[in-house]
């Protein structure tokens, strides 16, 4: 199970790099995230967090503030706490010439298992041409909780998410 020390209600942020990270970049980013997590605070209160760089493209960042009321947004992580995490990623991007994709891009696995990022019109064109279909693994960067990630809502066949309504996908081959 991913991030076993955090509850399913922990807030999750997903960032996607515009290209695969090199081994050195992945290692550097992982170290920076670990350093950041060791002292993460939100409004002066400690935050328990965890991060992982997955598929050399995605940063999965989860956070939980112990003792925060259940109804509190983001499990008590907000404002300056979120800004601080974004600063770590922006700083890394500036130093390495890595960009973070737009939420309007579609990320998917190609036939070789590589993560690709294309615009929505380009993905629609691939769907019309039959290059992607309902079985194509896609990524949903809008997942908001660790429970969503653990339930498989981050990576799933295109026919099981919003992609099925947005694009002319042929059904998955049986």
Question: Do 75 and 15 share a structural domain?
Answer: yes
> Final residue of a domain: which of 96, 125, 157?
96
Burial of 69 (0-12, 13-18, 19+ CB in 10 A): exposed
The Cα–Cα gap between 130 and 101 comes to: 24
* 99-142 pLDDT per residue, tens: 999 889 999 999 999 999 999 999 999 999 999 999 999 999 99
pLDDT at 73 over 80: no
Average pLDDT of the chain to the nearest whole number: 92
Neighbours of 128 (CB within 10 A): 13
pLDDT at 69 over 50: yes
For the domain that residue 91 is a member of, what is the CATH number? 3.30.70
Q: Is position 101 within any domain?
A: no
Q: Could you give the dihedral angle defined by the CA atoms of residues 128, 124, 143 and 51, in that order, rounded to the nearest 10 degrees?
A: 100
- How big is the chain by its Cα radius of gyration, in Å? 17
Q: Is position 42 within any domain?
A: yes
What's the number of domains the chain is made of?
A: 2
Paired tokens of 127: 């769907």
> Final residue of a domain: which of 43, 72, 96?
96
> Final residue of a domain: which of 65, 96, 127?
96
Q: Is position 159 within any domain?
A: yes
Quote the pTM value. 0.91
Q: Is position 174 within any domain?
A: no
Cβ-contact 17, 58 below 8 angstroms? yes
Question: Do 47 and 81 share a structural domain?
Answer: yes
Is residue 147 classed as helix, strand or coil in its secondary structure? helix
pLDDT band at 67, cuts 50/70/90?
confident
Give residue 146's domain range.
106-166
| Portion of the chain with pLDDT greater than 70, in percent | 94
Q: CB under 8 Å to 18, separation ≥6 — which residues?
A: 98, 99, 100, 101, 117
Most confident of 30-44, 75-89, 160-174: 30-44
Long-range contacts of 83-90 (CB under 8 A, 24+ apart): 84/36, 84/40, 84/41, 85/13, 85/36, 85/40, 85/49, 85/61, 88/32, 88/33, 88/36, 89/15, 89/59
């Amino acid at each position: 199970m991913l991030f076993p020390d955090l509850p399913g209600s922990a807030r999750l942020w997903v960032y996607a790099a515009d290209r695969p990270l090199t081994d050195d970049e992945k290692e550097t980013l992982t170290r920076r995230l670990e350093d950041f997590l060791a002292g993460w605070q939100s409004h002066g209160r400690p935050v328990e967090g965890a991060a992982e760089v997955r598929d050399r493209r995605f940063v999965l960042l989860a956070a939980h503030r112990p003792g925060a009321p259940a109804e509190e947004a983001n499990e008590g992580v907000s404002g300056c706490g979120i800004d601080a995490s974004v600063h770590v990623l922006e700083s890394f991007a500036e130093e390495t010439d890595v960009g973070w994709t737009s939420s309007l891009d579609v990320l998917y696995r190609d036939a070789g298992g590589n993560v690709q990022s294309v615009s929505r019109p380009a993905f629609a064109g691939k769907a019309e041409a039959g290059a992607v279909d309902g079985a194509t693994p896609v990524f949903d960067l809008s997942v908001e909780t660790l429970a969503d990630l653990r339930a498989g809502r981050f990576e799933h066949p295109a026919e099981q998410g919003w992609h099925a309504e947005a694009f002319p996908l042929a059904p998955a081959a049986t």
